[in-house]
Amino acid sequence: MSFDEMGSEESGMQEHSEDERVYAPDEVFEVPAAAEAGPAMAVAIEDAPKKRGGWRIFVGIVLGLSVLMNLMLLIAIAAMSMFSFGGSGKEFDENTIAKGKSGNKIAVIKIEGIINSVVSDEFRKQIKRAKEDRSVKAVIVRTVTPGGGVAASDQIHHEISKFRKETGKPVVAFMQTVAASGGYYTSVACDRIVAEPTVITGSIGVLMNHLVFKELLEEKLGINPVTIKSGQKKDWPSPFSEMTDEQRLYLEERLIGPAYSRFVKLVDEGRSGLNMEQVLALADGGIYGGPEALENGLVDEVGYIETAIEAAKKLAGIKSAKVVEYTRQFTISSIFGVESKASWKLDRDLLHKLMTPEVLYLWDGRN
């Protein structure tokens, strides 16, 4: 290779290097990526915005359908709720638990949980429903409760007695699991008592719980409560002071004694096979199993729901009956908890309830 050829080649290399250094960067940034990638990639990039737009439309459709379906569901619930309150005129449905002659019904009404004003009010509504249904020939009160408030238990006893007196139709108590204290109090209003073999019943007596916060407030929190009262007995018993013997005797005389006397009196009236002396011997707050309760005259039979049904039919003078149990109809308020009265919000009402002693027909299994 001659010197001129080498020079020419070297000059060409320099020119090429200069082109790469000067022109290549501009070409890289100025030429679109789609052009470098070829026609197929260019088409894909052009379609990308359209695909993103399609996804937006799809998501919008889904959200729109979701809102529409939820709205339709709410409308349906509201319509069902309005029907249950106004359309049928009835708050309760009838669930058949034993088939039989439809013209003869035996209605089963439940007393379940701690007996309070809500339970007694529900019971009143259901027994009213049974009273208004001419095809109901007898009622079974299915009782599963350790008892509860004195007033609420007495209200249920009154409703049963009133039903029997006004309709002349029999009522059978069927006690399951636990039917103690207030649960037994309501049962003695019935014509007959059937108890499961494993039931816990009895507990004839009165209970009052009382909380004292004195030490907690003064020694732990440094709070010294002050009470201004018009009379010595106005705040007895007080949660801010220890109970004295005088206060205890006062409460026993004014609250415990009268409630206990009424319990014993109603058991004596409801259990014809027992005299007052026998009732008082049993009314020491003690509990009894089914067979022991039968032996002591507290119940009439030991058996199951079939036994209670047969007893109801016999008392009503019928051979066949359709046995139904009342259940509350579906409502929108029950879905959203509007009917629930058990609010545990920390407010003055709750504090008052916690600090106020309550006289109870209750078997407290913790003691």
User: Taking a C-beta distance cutoff of 8 angstroms, is the pair 136, 105 a contact?
Assistant: yes
How far is 257 from 206, CA to CA, in rounded Å? 8
Closest of 114, 133, 81, 169 to residue 324, by C-alpha: 133
How far is 192 from 173, CA to CA, in rounded Å? 6
C-alpha atoms less than 13 angstroms from C-alpha of 307 in its C-beta half-sphere = 17
* C-alpha distances in Å from residue 185, one per residue of 82, 265, 361: 37, 10, 8
Is there a cis peptide before residue 237, judged by omega within 30 degrees of 0? yes
User: Taking a C-beta distance cutoff of 8 angstroms, is the pair 339, 118 a contact?
Assistant: no
- Which residue is catalytic, options 81, 84, 181, 238? 181
181: left (phi over 0), alpha (psi -120 to 50) or beta: left
Give residue for tokens 């003078």: 317
Alpha helical stretches, state H, the chain: 3-30, 33-37, 39-82, 117-132, 150-167, 182-187, 214-215, 245-251, 257-270, 276-282, 290-295, 305-316, 332-335, 348-355
- Which residue is catalytic, options 99, 101, 233, 234? 234
Q: Is 272 a catalytic residue?
A: no
User: Taking a C-beta distance cutoff of 8 angstroms, is the pair 313, 306 a contact?
Assistant: no
User: Taking a C-beta distance cutoff of 8 angstroms, is the pair 283, 264 a contact?
Assistant: yes
Q: Is 51 a catalytic residue?
A: no
Residues annotated as catalytic are 181, 234
